[in-house]
Amino acid sequence: MSDATAKALPVLVLNGPNLNMLGKRQPEIYGRETLADVEALCHAEATRLGLAVECFQSNHEGALIDRIQAAREANSGIVINAGAYTHTSVALMDALAAAERPTIELHISNVFKREAFRHHSYISAVSVGVICGFGTHGYALALQAMARILSR
């Protein structure tokens, strides 16, 4: 297959609990863009980078784990904003480790300027790197970093 016809590598963009509320509450922390705006941004940035994205949001830990398990077969990399599960979920950490796909952890807000309980992440230990504090632009930054990782 020539480069021109090569299929774009599919990156999974996962959003966890309450991120379906983006743009509807707390704009001073999370901005005014909705989850649909964020997912459109991801598709546009992926196209620009020659990647494909599959977006998934759930408020349920088990549904997120099921999607991560599917990513082992279906996706080349994972960008994850695990929401509050970041700070609590050994189960998500274990699922990401088992997926064996390069993972980038993302937060819209700068969690280190916030409450102490947001300073610890179970996801960081199984991630290539972490992007936080750049608002929803962080999703574009994460995809740029993922494109570089997958090109190696």
Question: What's the first-to-final CA gap in the chain, in angstroms?
Answer: 19
Residue from the set 57, 58, 75, 81 that interacts with ligand CA2 by CB under 6 A: 81
Taking the least distance from each CB to ligand CA2, the nearer of 9 and 85 is 85
Which ranges constitute the DSSP H helices of the chain?
27-30, 35-49, 61-74, 90-99, 137-151
Written as six digits, the tokens of 111 are 């969690």
Q: Is 30 a catalytic residue?
A: yes
x/- site string to ligand CA2, residues 24 to 63, per CB under 6 A? Answer: xxx---x---------------------------------
Instruction: Give the Cα separation of 41 and 60 in Å (integer).
Output: 24
**Near ligand CA2 in 103-132, by CB under 6 A:** 107-109, 111, 118
Instruction: Give the Cα separation of 41 and 37 in Å (integer).
Output: 6
Q: Return residues touching ligand CA2 (CB under 6 A).
A: 18-19, 21-22, 24-26, 30, 81, 83-84, 86, 107-109, 111, 118
